[in-house]
Amino acid sequence: MNIKEMDFFKGMSQEFMDELVKILVRESYDQGDIVFKQGQPAHNFYLLEEGDVTLTIGEEGHMIFDISPGDSFGWFSLIDLDSYSSTAECKRPSKLIKIEKDKANKLLEKYPASGLVFFKRMSGFMGERLLKTYAELLSAFRGKEQPSYG
């Protein structure tokens, strides 16, 4: 999947996209490879070109998000949080696009209109994951037996 074909970047200026291509790094991972671990310093933002990546939260991997080609992860690096909130593991051989946070932030500042679209898209993805988390928590809560007080 070409970066310009990803929904994440639709509506961004050609100049922005041309400069973005110059700062991104393509990486290949094998099945079982860890891209980053929960708690590690967050220095990079990622997009999945090919493969499958699973994000788990907690030591036992309680909360799970599956990342599909075209999806992004590692957002904490771009919102100035110090560490990743999850562990990212490749479930099969995968190709990722890595964008270093300082370079991304400079580019987003240089092109504020594209930066606004970028952060709106990122917020939308974050919102979708938050809603999924709420639904899973509600389902788990409803599945537990309620204590009787009388």
Give 58-73 pLDDT, tens digit per residue: 776 566 788 989 888 9
E-assigned strand segments in 9-93: 25-29, 34-36, 44-50, 53-57, 63-67, 72-73, 87-90
Neighbouring C-alpha atoms within 13 Å toward the C-beta of 95: 9
The answer to the question of residue 149 being in a domain is no
Cβ neighbours around 94 below 10 Å, total: 24
**Phi (first) and psi of residue 10, to 5 degrees:** -65, 135
Q: How high does pLDDT run on average in the chain? A: 87
Q: What is the CATH number of the domain that holds 106?
A: 2.60.120.10
Task: Give pTM, 2 decimals.
Answer: 0.81
Q: How many domains does the chain have?
A: 1
The answer to the question of residue 148 being in a domain is no
Q: What's the average model confidence in pLDDT over 20-30?
A: 96
